[in-house]
Amino acid sequence: MSPPKDLLASERDQQPAVTKRISTSTAPIPLPPPYSVFTRRQHVLVLCLASYAASFSPLSSFIFFPAIDDLSQALQVPVGRINLTITSYMIVAGLAPALLGDLADKIGRRPVYLFMMSVYCVANVGLALQNNWTALFLLRMLQSCGSAATIAVGYGVVSDIAPPSKRGTFVSGLVLGVEANLEGQRPNITTAVGPILGGALASYLGWRWIFWFLAISSGACLLLIALLLPETARSIVGDGSGKVSGFRRTVLSHWQLLTLRQGHRRPGSASGEAAVAIGNDTGRRLKLPNPLASLKLLWAKDSALITLIFGIFYMNLSSLQASTSTLFLTVYDISGIQLGLVYLPSGIGSCIGAYCAGQLELRLEMLQRPQPDPVALSFVSCSLLDHDYRVIARKNEIEINIPGSDDLDHFPIERARFRSIWHVISAGAVSLVGYGWSLQLKANMAVPLVLHFVIGLSTAVVFNICGTLLVDIHPRSPSTAQAANSIVRAFLAGGGTALVEVFIDSMGVGWTFTIFGGLGMIALALAWLEWVYGEKWRKDMRDRGVER
């Protein structure tokens, strides 16, 4: 029996209303705003300038090593007194970021960059002109003050413009000097070429040209920062859309503002009014930095463990580099520019290590998909850290790569960052032991040089992993966290470089580096503690209302 026609008509009349209700209920939900309003090209510019400035921190150390004997003869002082300038440099390198890193978190990255590069450039001019050991000692401390915090502030810049799911790639770009995820990669290999460049300058032009070279390079960096680097601090400009004035604005933006004001003098000019509005001050008052703020971070268990891991590997690398020239001169009877070339394997290993941590090609995987997305293919080059981040996110069924999805409060970021650290720490520690015994037994020079390479590679990866995780757990004060890291690593490295010659003289090079390798295995145990308990410690601090 069929239904009545009037009932069918009634049902048809009601269908549009049902469809309308379904359409309303399935309306798309607006997504949160993006993490940063900076364009892709602006990301490239900011990362390149931050990397350029950060390169002076390692370059100032490595370029100095080949000139130690020349300085000793020119200033007529023992080599031991020249080595004291290295110790003073490292002490200031540990203390300066505590002040400047906190200052950058409070008043912004750009004013601190301008101050640091100005101090660094002036210090190098003074070093090129000085003629006595006292001036060398004091100016090396001033040089360290200008360059040591550039890496800490650079980590802050990365946290300003990159969400956690992309941060590993950007950190690699900062450390290596690579334009992450972009075409035209240009590696910054200061640790590799620094000793060679220092040896060449000292041999052919004289040791003063080492400092003239640094003065000219840092002056160019200062000019580029003044002209082009925008303010990125999220406490100042938020996602980058906040308005700033004074030193926080680039020189080009000041010139553009002046041009607009002169070109729109007519009453009621909308463009002129907009130009004036752009120049309004944000009204923020200058806050004095707290040099003890970074030390407070070390009371947190997870921060202390991460900085200790970083510091142990930095101490091992510094002790290795400080003793390399003396050991190779004694064991293999080489000198001059050849000693500079000995540092090359470690430098190349550091660059490749940063690259391995920073670039893991996923293009093949994406091309194997039934319908590869051409837009996504332009972003397939991601870091090892970002790959680990994605693996842990999928394991915990957490969506990523959409705006607002990078909330780390309930994400096991410790397991994501430390997922690949075990093999790296082990390789670095074992290679350090092998390096010592290869010199003790006077093996072929190729053996310690290859181990130099492995040690540099593993150390760079550990630096990248620990530096990224430290930024992740301190999103509100990344530069201050890196300043705490600098204090720990500088004092550990200072102790290591002071004791390495004593250990070698008393127990031999083999057992000396066996001790340093054992410390590397202690770092492995510290990493396990952070892997197991890090998320719990972070949750406990969040529940107590501690903001980081």
For the chain, helix, strand, coil in percent to 5 are 75, 0, 25
| pLDDT surpasses 90 at 507 | yes
Task: Please indicate whether residue 484 or residue 376 has the higher confidence score (pLDDT).
Answer: 484
As a whole number of angstroms, the distance between CA 112 and CA 157 comes to 12
As a whole number of angstroms, the distance between CA 174 and CA 151 comes to 8
Per-residue pLDDT at 469:
83
Most confident region among 174-188, 393-407, 468-482, 500-514 by mean pLDDT: 500-514
Per-residue pLDDT at 73:
84
| pLDDT surpasses 60 at 77 | yes
As a whole number of angstroms, the distance between CA 60 and CA 436 comes to 26
As a whole number of angstroms, the distance between CA 394 and CA 491 comes to 40
Per-residue pLDDT at 91:
81
Q: Across the strands, what pairs with 381? A: 361
User: Residue 298 in 3-state DSSP?
Assistant: coil
- Residue 186: which pLDDT band, with cuts at 50, 70 and 90? very low
As a whole number of angstroms, the distance between CA 540 and CA 362 comes to 36
| pLDDT surpasses 90 at 72 | no
SS (H, E, C) 468-490: HHHHHHCCCCHHHHHHHHHHHHH
The CATH number of 37-255 is which of 1.20.20.10, 1.10.3470.10, 3.40.50.300, 1.20.1250.20? 1.20.1250.20
As a whole number of angstroms, the distance between CA 172 and CA 156 comes to 14
Q: What are phi and psi of 55, to 5 degrees?
A: -65, -20
Average pLDDT in the 480-508 region? Answer: 82
Residue 63 burial (CB count, 10 A):
25
Q: What does the DSSP assignment read for 231-278?
A: P--HHHHTTTT----GGGS-HHHHHHHHHHHHH--STT-HHHHHHHHH
As a whole number of angstroms, the distance between CA 170 and CA 468 comes to 9
| pLDDT surpasses 60 at 35 | yes
Query: Which residues have CB under 8 Å from 180's CB, separation 6+?
Result: 47, 169, 170, 172, 173, 358, 359, 381, 383
As a whole number of angstroms, the distance between CA 46 and CA 170 comes to 11
Q: DSSP H helical segments within 333-373, as ranges?
A: 337-342, 344-358, 363-367
- Residue 116: which pLDDT band, with cuts at 50, 70 and 90? very high
Per-residue pLDDT at 195:
83
pTM exceeding the 0.75 threshold for the entire prediction: no
What Rg, from alpha-carbon coordinates, does the chain have?
27
| pLDDT surpasses 60 at 283 | no
As a whole number of angstroms, the distance between CA 56 and CA 217 comes to 9
What percentage of the chain has pLDDT greater than the value 90? Answer: 21
- Residue 408: which pLDDT band, with cuts at 50, 70 and 90? low
Long-range contacts of 446-454 (CB under 8 A, 24+ apart): 449/342, 449/345, 450/345, 452/320, 452/324, 452/342, 452/345, 452/346, 452/349, 453/345, 453/346, 453/348, 453/349, 454/349, 454/427, 454/428
Per-residue pLDDT at 390:
64
Task: Please indicate whether residue 57 or residue 403 has the higher confidence score (pLDDT).
Answer: 57
Beta strands 360-361 and 381-382 are: antiparallel
Mean pLDDT of the chain: 74
Residue 247: closest CA among 366, 103, 56: 103
Per-residue pLDDT at 397:
55
Per-residue pLDDT at 175:
52
- Residue 532: which pLDDT band, with cuts at 50, 70 and 90? confident
Average pLDDT in the 278-300 region? Answer: 59
Among 96-105, 211-220, 460-469, 511-520, name the one with the lowest average pLDDT: 96-105
Per-residue pLDDT at 387:
56
| pLDDT surpasses 80 at 26 | no
Q: Are 453 and 345 in contact (CB under 8 A)?
A: yes
Per-residue pLDDT at 224:
93
Q: What is the pLDDT of residues 434-479, one digit of tens each?
A: 999 999 999 999 999 999 999 988 988 888 888 878 877 887 777 6
Q: What does the DSSP assignment read for 128-159?
A: HH--SHHHHHHHHHHHHHHHTTHHHHHHHHHH
| 268 phi-psi bin (left φ>0, alpha ψ -120 to 50, beta other) | left
Average pLDDT in the 50-76 region? Answer: 85
| pLDDT surpasses 80 at 529 | yes
Q: Across the strands, what pairs with 382? A: 360
With residue 360 as reference, give the H or E element that holds it: strand 360-361
Topology of domain 290-547, CATH: Growth Hormone; Chain: A; (1.20.1250)
What is the domain partition of the chain in residue ranges? 37-255, 290-547
As a whole number of angstroms, the distance between CA 310 and CA 467 comes to 8
Per-residue pLDDT at 290:
59
Among 146-160, 216-230, 321-335, 403-417, name the one with the lowest average pLDDT: 403-417
Chain-centroid distance of CA 271 in Å reads: 40
Identical topology for domains 37-255 and 290-547: yes
Residue 157: closest CA among 136, 144, 145, 174: 174
Q: What is the pLDDT of residues 142-179, one digit of tens each?
A: 999 998 888 878 877 877 777 765 555 555 555 544 33
Task: Please indicate whether residue 350 or residue 33 has the higher confidence score (pLDDT).
Answer: 350
| pLDDT surpasses 80 at 303 | yes
| pLDDT surpasses 90 at 426 | yes
As a whole number of angstroms, the distance between CA 239 and CA 117 comes to 25
As a whole number of angstroms, the distance between CA 422 and CA 112 comes to 36
Average pLDDT in the 11-30 region? Answer: 47
Residue 31 burial (CB count, 10 A):
10
